């Protein structure tokens, strides 16, 4: 993908994405085409307090992680994560090929992104991560 944003944290987490919404001038929605390499997880498990999030698997396959639940997704599958549902979610590419998915979400500055396994939260309005853990995790 051209004009992409890349994010990595260690060997476990990492994505490459193109912000389609921003390129089109969207103000209230975020729409990204995301690539997830084999063996990578999209992020630590997370949930949003204010933003609803949707994913549509375009190519490949992945495992949807929702709390302790695991679901196998293939191209054409869709999932929705409602704002305020306190169940962390992420995608894990368990296959040998790149997985591509479209991610659509609200773009609320009042949203707080919670990482329950790491006891951290990102307060979007402040652009800061808060934790009750020593600084040995991700940012």
| Separation between Cα atoms, residue 111 and residue 51, nearest integer Å | 6
Question: How far is CA 100 from its chain centroid?
Answer: 12
Distance CA 123, CA 25 (A): 23
Q: Is the pLDDT of residue 133 over 80?
A: no
Q: Reduced to 3 states, what is the DSSP secondary structure of residue 23?
A: helix
- What spatial distance separates the first Cα and last Cα of the chain, rounded to whole Å? 25
Q: How confident is the model over 103-127, as pLDDT tens digits?
A: 999 989 999 999 999 899 999 999 9
Q: Among all chains, which residue has been given the structure tokens 């009750």?
A: 132
In Å, how far are 72, 116, 138 from 44, measured between CA atoms?
Answer: 18, 9, 9
Can you tell me the mean pLDDT for 55-63?
A: 98
- Dihedral sign, Cα of residue 39, residue 18, residue 112, residue 63: negative
Q: How far apart are CA 117 and CA 77, in angstroms?
A: 26
Residue 107, token pair as written in the block: 């773009």
Could you give the CA distance from residue 76 to residue 92 in angstroms, rounded to a whole number?
Answer: 16
Whether pLDDT at 83 is above 60: yes
pLDDT at position 10, please?
Answer: 83
Whether 136 shows a pLDDT value over 80: the answer reads no
Q: What is the pLDDT of residue 137?
A: 53
* pLDDT score at 86: 95
Percent above pLDDT 90 for the chain:
79
Pair of tokens at residue 128: 């800061």
The mean-pLDDT minimum among 18-22, 38-42, 49-53, 130-134 falls in 130-134
Give the chain's domains with CATH numbers. 5-108 (2.60.120.10)
pLDDT tops 70 at residue 139: no
What is the value of pTM for the model shown?
A: 0.87
User: Could you tell me what percent of the chain has a pLDDT over 70?
Assistant: 94
């Amino acid at each position: 993908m051209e004009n992409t944003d890349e994010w990595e944290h260690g060997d476990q987490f990492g994505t490459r994405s193109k912000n389609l919404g921003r390129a089109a001038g969207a103000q209230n929605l975020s729409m990204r085409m995301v690539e997830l390499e084999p063996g990578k997880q999209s992020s630590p498990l997370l949930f949003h307090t204010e933003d609803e999030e949707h994913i549509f698997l375009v190519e490949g396959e992945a495992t949807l992680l929702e709390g302790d639940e695991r679901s196998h997704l293939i191209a054409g599958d869709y999932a929705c994560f409602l704002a305020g549902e306190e169940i962390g979610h992420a995608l894990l590419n368990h296959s040998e090929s790149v997985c591509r998915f479209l991610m659509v979400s609200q773009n609320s500055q009042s949203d707080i992104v919670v990482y329950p396994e790491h006891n951290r939260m990102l307060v979007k309005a402040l652009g800061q991560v808060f934790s009750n853990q020593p600084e040995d995790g991700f940012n």
